[in-house]
Structure 1
Amino acid sequence: MTEDTSWVGPAMQQRVPWVKAVGITFGDVTARRVVAHLPDDPQLHNHVGGPHAAMIFGLGETASGAVGLAAFGSVMDRATPLVVSSEIAYHRLARGPLTAVAELTRPAEEVLAELAGGQRPEFTVTVGISDTDARETTRMVVRWTLRPNR
């Protein structure tokens, strides 16, 4: 049985105003993988005519957060997801609309077991970002924690 994750994209757009402001939309959303899209908007460009690095980073971080929400939404009453660290590598100039594919790197069940055991678990999400020509332009690794609510 697959858990319904159709609520994740709308929740991200509602609870994170920046997501809606820059026009990020969501394609496939599962508890292991999220596809997110950033439209091409000249107001979000850098000095060389492509999406600004801040927009690229924001798209990747948003996609990674959506994976966390899809995987751990059932425990948001007990824990708050927070970014611990991010690493990003810009490999080539991006052009046009962007697509981010974010993937959880360890089973959600392991993370949830650590939380249930009283720990503050961490999990990593890898993100590949591609441009209009389907060329990967950027890679990210985002490390998250689930901070138990007090």
Structure 2
Amino acid sequence: MTSETLPSIGEMMAASVPMVRTLNLEFTETTAERAVVRMPDQPDFHNHVGGPHAGAMFTLAESASGAIVMTAFGDQLGRAVPLAVGAEIGYKKLAMGGVTAIAELGRPISDVIAELDAGERPEFPVNVKITRDSDGAVTGEMTIVWTLRPNDAKGGGKGKAE
């Protein structure tokens, strides 16, 4: 199989995460350092003031974080499962129309893999900004803490997201 036939991270996310399809999320950039995901304006997902519902924005940001995790650590899937273990979101300004989530990995990939290599269950943050497409204003910020749970018993069992 050549790289031209491999599905993109966005295609894989849409195939494996039904909410990605439901919200019509568009993965415009996915690298190991950054992921950019857009949610178009959709009246079916509006809140009481006509903007995107808070739950839809949470899902947008979490999906962007998942895309960066899969890009950064997809080669580790044979030995560890990525799991979100916590998230905190702050809504800063009213979001109207389409919105975009920009996710950045909060720790160096090499540090996370070194912990996994040492038999640990590494945790790492992914920081996400949600912006209005109309003017680029930051409408929300979210931090999602992820772990790589080893597939063997050595590094698992810390009581989180098992």
Q: TM-score range with shorter-chain normalisation?
A: over 0.9
Judged with a 3 Å threshold, the aligned counterparts in structure 2 of structure 1 residues 129 and 6 are, in CA distance, closer, same or farther, namely farther
Distance 1:49 1:58 in 2: 18
Distance 2:99 2:86 in 1: 22
The aligned counterpart of 1:46 is: 47
When normalised by structure 1's length, the TM-score is 0.94
Deviations 1:36-88 (A, max 9, x none): 00011000000110000000000000001111000000011111111111111
Q: Classify the secondary structure of the residue corresponding to 2:82.
A: strand
Q: Classify the secondary structure of the residue corresponding to 2:56.
A: helix
> Which amino acid in structure 1 is aligned with residue 15 of structure 2?
Q
Aligned ranges 1:9-20 → 2 under 5 Å: 9-20=10-21
When normalised by structure 2's length, the TM-score is 0.87
Aligned ranges 1:42-121 → 2 under 5 Å: 42-121=43-122
> Which amino acid in structure 1 is aligned with residue 148 of structure 2?
L
The aligned counterpart of 1:26 is: 27
Distance 1:7 1:114 in 2: 28
Q: What runs of 5+ residues in structure 2 fail to find an aligned partner?
A: 153-162
> Which amino acid in structure 2 is aligned with residue 48 of structure 1?
V
CA contact (8 A) 1:60 1:129 kept: yes
Shift of 1:149: 1.3
Distance 2:151 2:18 in 1: 23
Q: Classify the secondary structure of the residue corresponding to 1:92.
A: coil
Question: Is 1:134 matched with 2:130?
Answer: no
Would you say how many aligned residue pairs link Structure 1 and Structure 2? 147
Judged with a 3 Å threshold, the aligned counterparts in structure 2 of structure 1 residues 143 and 92 are, in CA distance, closer, same or farther, namely same
Distance 1:88 1:18 in 2: 18
CA contact (8 A) 1:6 1:29 kept: no
Distance 1:45 1:77 in 2: 39
Q: Classify the secondary structure of the residue corresponding to 2:48.
A: coil
| RMSD of aligned Cα (Å) | 1.5
The structure that has the greater radius of gyration is: 2
